[in-house]
Amino acid sequence: MNRFSTDCRQCPRLASFLDEVRAAQPGYFAKPVPSFGEAGTPLLIVGLAPGMHGANRTGRPFTGDYAGDLLYSTLHKYGLSTAAEPLDANKQANPKLTLKGCRITNAVRCLPPQNKPEPAEIRQCNSYLAQELAALPRGAAVMALGTIAHEAVLRASGLKVKDFKFAHAARHALPNGSTLYDSYHCSRYNTQTRRLTEAMFHQVFDSILEHHKLRS
């Protein structure tokens, strides 16, 4: 099984697109984005894919766009990060922000055109997610942000997607002893349309902390 590398080019469409982005935006990270936080922590948060001007620019998941603002402020509220602001004064990834008891990754590690990865690309990247899940301690929590992340976790766990329906605040038992928690993605669109409110997002974290010890 291949280990994740920022030099990965296994998806031709995504690799070519990143080449174009890197040429147009020389200051952007514009490579497959690594996970953030220590491996094997009791909470793994799984998003969809890097955003053009967020993780694709900074090289850190959920850093530089609105979704990250809500996610990191929430992590700080619950004592899972050392800072609420993901960016520093230069609009780069805040070097003073570290995670405590959690790790953030994506179902797809590369920026996809129009923010829409193809099914084959999601499957290709799934082995990296499977490695993330295998590193979790027994009794860990996995938080899926959106349907694609939810389905990616199920596939990486060897489960059938049709047997586990996505729903905000739903919980599902995984075969490795972990529990999958669903949340609507904390995107600007979802929050502006009120499909996801801050209170709803915090509700999922309340549930996770109620059932799992995340901080030492």
Question: What is the Cα Rg of the chain in Å?
Answer: 16
Report which of 101, 132, 104, 87 is spatially closest to residue 48, judged by C-alpha positions: 104
Chain-centre distance for alpha carbon 157:
16
CA end-to-end distance (rounded Å), the chain: 32
Phi/psi at 68 (5° precision) = -70, -35
CATH class name, domain 40-211: alpha beta
> 50-109 pLDDT, tens per residue?
999 999 999 999 999 999 999 999 999 999 999 999 999 999 999 999 999 999 999 999
Query: For residue 112, what are the CA distances in angstroms to 64, 75, 116, 167?
Result: 17, 26, 6, 25
Angstrom distance (rounded) from CA 21 to CA 12: 14
152 contacts 44 by C-beta, under 8 angstroms: no
Q: What is the mean pLDDT of the chain?
A: 96
Report which of 127, 158, 103 is spatially closest to residue 5, judged by C-alpha positions: 127
> 173-216 pLDDT, tens per residue?
999 899 999 999 999 999 999 999 999 999 999 999 999 877 54
68 contacts 62 by C-beta, under 8 angstroms: yes
For 180, the enclosing helix (H) or strand (E) is: strand 179-183
Q: Give the DSSP letter of residue 33.
A: P
Predicted TM-score (pTM) of the model is 0.96
* Sequence ranges of the domains in the chain: 40-211
The DSSP line for 88-125 is -TTSSB-TT--BSSEEEEESS-SPPGGG---HHHHHHH
